[in-house]
Amino acid sequence: MQVGVVTSFETKGHAELRNLRLVDVEEGVVRAGLAIRIRDGVIEAIIPDDGSSEGSGTSGLPVLDMGGAFVAPGLINMHTHFSLSLPGPVGERLESMDPAGIALYMADGARRTLHNGVTTVRCVAEKGHADFALREAIGSGWVQGPRIYTAGRALVCTGGHGHSSDDTMECDGADEFARGVRTQIRAGADLIKIMISGGIAGEHETISTPQLTTDEMAAAISTAHAWGRKVTAHAGPAAVIAEAVRLGLDCVEHGYELTAEVCRAMAENGTALVPTLIVTRSGAFFDELGVPQWMQQRSLGAGERHIASYRMALEAGVDVLLGSDMPPFWPFEGTSAVVRELEHMHDFGLDAARTLRAGTLAPARWLGIDDQTGSIAEGKWADLIALPEDPLASPSALRDLDFVMQGGVVVRDDGRATPGTEER
């Protein structure tokens, strides 16, 4: 997807969007004949679109003619690494960057992510706590990027998954994991991530390798909950996931080797799943990064079991959430990684309306911000995307996304929106 140049007509947090079809993700329907009035970056009202040139009468807002586009809430990606470094030469280059280099690299990724329609992200392990600085820079308007909710560094055991990079913090024993949680919260973490099993990118482990004891998991989860933070876990095997769910885990990342029994427990306990289906079907991405064959074989070899796990989760009624793991903006198989992940979620069993909800309202609910984003409603942030086809019919419609608004400000416009009445 080529990002177009923003037109000279830019709203500054105030606008009225007309001539659109509003995508209602809560009800799973498209609503016609409406206009969206935005003031100070927030949706002030959803009103009938009478088609007049006088806009909202005395509102004084500039009008954007959306050309009949489908307007949907911005996407929310729940498994993001702006500083991702995998084994191979590209990863080695990232690992060698100084803090300033990493911060600039992450800022570029954040901008590209926003331009690809992702208006909010959940970061689940970033290098050197640069994510906190990036969150502040975006919030202050210094750089463009999605709204960031972050775990800071992920907590791992000595030698555990991801231990070789400074996007993790090694801990051993219950006391150290409790301290690790508090350390991330002190730095500003919105949530906590723990690595409870091996994974694809660890050379000296397997996906099924248990890595935390029950006491360590319990300490991390109970401490985080006491501080009002949810906990998500990188996890593959069913047994270790079952134990973590019993202890109150809020979310599972990947879930490569789930069972029907564990999925039922997740559903009963309200534990969500971010399946990241793309990571076990991304050979071209690995080739591009020079990822070694041992990792490629482990990843692609897990694909069939991964899909079976995902389908069991759907059957059990587990809440599934969008997360790409691969950088959301990355060009992949004719689209962006985040759209390709949504296509996989749909292709392997989730209907189109629920797929779009898994990338909008459902993540907002997990993050506790559904009163501010995740759907198009009065009082919510004006984080919006537009596209020529209906995303409730197929997530592939998102391949043609051509307009992004964040907080009422147009950050991408490939020529669809045109000025209506002038600002008075």
Confidence of residue 52 (pLDDT cuts 50, 70, 90): low
> Across residues 96-115, what is the average pLDDT?
94
Amino acid 422: pLDDT: 39
Q: Tens digits of per-residue pLDDT, 61-72?
A: 899 999 999 999
Residues 389, 401: Cα–Cα separation, whole Å: 9
Per-residue CA distances from 348 to 122, 296, 308, 309, 364 (Å): 24, 22, 9, 11, 23
Give me the percent of the chain exceeding a pLDDT of 90.
Answer: 78
| Residue 285 C-alpha from the chain's centroid | 19
Amino acid 164: pLDDT: 67
Amino acid 151: pLDDT: 98
Per-residue CA distances from 266 to 10, 119, 287, 299, 315 (Å): 45, 28, 35, 24, 12
- Is the predicted pLDDT of residue 203 greater than 90, yes or no? no
Amino acid 393: pLDDT: 98
- Is the predicted pLDDT of residue 120 greater than 90, yes or no? yes
- Is the predicted pLDDT of residue 19 greater than 60, yes or no? yes
Give me the percent of the chain exceeding a pLDDT of 70.
Answer: 94
Q: Tens digits of per-residue pLDDT, 132-183?
A: 999 999 999 999 999 999 999 999 999 988 776 889 999 999 999 999 999 9
Question: Which one of 132-146, 199-213, 288-302 scores highest in mean pLDDT?
Answer: 132-146
Amino acid 11: pLDDT: 57
Please report, for the chain, how many H helices and E strands are present, in that order. 13, 20
CATH ID of 15-73+375-419, from 3.30.160.40, 3.30.390.30, 2.30.40.10, 2.40.50.140: 2.30.40.10
CATH ID of 75-367, from 1.20.1250.20, 3.30.2290.10, 3.40.50.280, 3.20.20.140: 3.20.20.140
Nearest CA among 400, 408, 409, 279 for reference residue 4: 400
Kindly report the pTM of this predicted structure.
Answer: 0.93
Domain ranges of the chain: 15-73+375-419, 75-367
Lowest mean pLDDT among 5-9, 110-114, 227-231, 259-263: 5-9
- Could you check whether 15-73+375-419 and 75-367 share the same CATH topology? no
Q: How many CB atoms lie within 10 A of CB 65?
A: 17
> Across residues 1-21, what is the average pLDDT?
65
Q: Tens digits of per-residue pLDDT, 391-413?
A: 999 999 999 999 999 999 999 99
104 Cβ contact list (under 8 Å, min separation 6): none
Confidence of residue 207 (pLDDT cuts 50, 70, 90): confident
- The overall average pLDDT reported for the chain is 91
Q: Tens digits of per-residue pLDDT, 318-340?
A: 999 999 999 999 999 999 999 99
Amino acid 1: pLDDT: 31
Nearest CA among 264, 352, 246 for reference residue 314: 264
More confident residue, 86 or 183: 183
